[in-house]
Amino acid sequence: MPIAIIGAVLLVVSASAVAFGILPVQDVLAIADRVWPIMLFVVAITIVAELAAAAGVFDVASAFLARVARRRVLLLWLLIVGLAVVSTAFLSLDTTAVLFTPVVVAVARAHRLDPLPFAFTTVWLANTASLVLPVSNLTNLLAVESLDVGVGSFVALMGPSALVAIVVSVAILWIVFHRRLRGRFAPAADPVIGDRLLSWIAGAVVVVLLPLLVSGVPPWMPALGAAVLLILVFAWRFPRALRPALVPWQLLVFVSGLFLAVGAVEAIGGRTVLASLSGSGDHLFALWRLAGIGMLGANGVNNLPAYLALEGVADSPARLGALLVGVNAGPLITPWASLATVLWHSRLTAVGVTVAWKRFMLLGLVAAPLAVAASVVPIAFR
């Protein structure tokens, strides 16, 4: 079912809750006041990523990595790992899943390599590397707003856990695919860029944007500025690329409905039930418990509703960090655990790469618990 339809249903349910007095109007206004900067950032960064991809920025970057790898498959894969981490950290997990995935598949095919290890790399790192920065994941932005902290404090809390999650996922990927990552690859022609000036401008905008996203100013501000600048440049050089589909309408409807629906559930006592399940305390086993519930909720329903439902019982920085580990690094098992995974699979299908969900889930059953359990440890002993 398209996420827009799910979001529309949630909006109708939420409107009914407001009409019957279950969800007070002042709570709706409070939710809107909290989420508008986050939603504005999501729209702006999506437009930036889409236009950068249309200008060939990701193609140029991947071709550069292939040259740097000097025909060594393992080195190319490690460079793709690095670029996937950077893409996820600064441009969000959905960018990596949607825009970077077809690029790495094209690079693998151009050099006559099996695309499967590269495809798994993008989706796993889209999730595990989304712990790096506040802008990496919508859940992080919500957590930062809840904690009322800056980028530095968030990185101090989540940085070690992000590193552990990335290392664990990369190590498992290497164990699984190491036979396909041996040897050397054949050289391939550079990608064809239709408008080099447009590509250079878009690349420069992205390069300037990345440090601004961690400069301490509200992320929506530099993202919106970059989006407006790219829209103006594209209106000059390639106006056909400017279309309504650049705005993630389905995601906006889905997330809006989700926020209101979770607010309604909390209004009828849902938080009390979750509090009894998640326990309390900041010691290791308590944090493992909360992260585990977050991981189960993400794989059972989806990571965003899992976070929203459990945020109220994560009543300390350590517990909120553990929850983020569960809902960010944990959605590696079921196809619907994160929107990034759903989008990743649809992009692979569009470019003719088949990934069996059975294999995806079996590998995730190994990777997700290990990544989550290991990543909680730095939070407990920080």
0.85 exceeded by pTM: no
Residue 300 has, within 13 A of its CA and on its CB side, a CA count of 10
Measure the CA–CA gap between 238 and 343, rounded to whole angstroms: 26
How does residue 317 score in pLDDT terms, banded at 50, 70 and 90?
Answer: very high
For the chain, what is the mean pLDDT? 87
Tokens, residue 6: 């799910």
CB 53 within 8 A of CB 99: yes
Q: Return the percentage of the chain with pLDDT > 90, whole number.
A: 44
Burial grade of 225 (CB within 10 A; 0-12, 13-18, 19 or more) = middle
Measure the CA–CA gap between 86 and 92, rounded to whole angstroms: 9
Lowest-pLDDT range of 155-169, 248-262, 298-312: 248-262
pLDDT at 335: 85
**Which has more confidence, 192 or 162?**
162
Q: What tens digit of pLDDT does each residue of 104-122 get?
A: 888 888 888 999 999 999 9
Q: What tens digit of pLDDT does each residue of 270-299 get?
A: 566 666 677 778 999 999 999 999 999 889
Lowest-pLDDT range of 129-143, 186-200, 222-236: 186-200
Residue 164 has, within 13 A of its CA and on its CB side, a CA count of 21
pLDDT at 382: 83
How does residue 132 score in pLDDT terms, banded at 50, 70 and 90?
Answer: very high
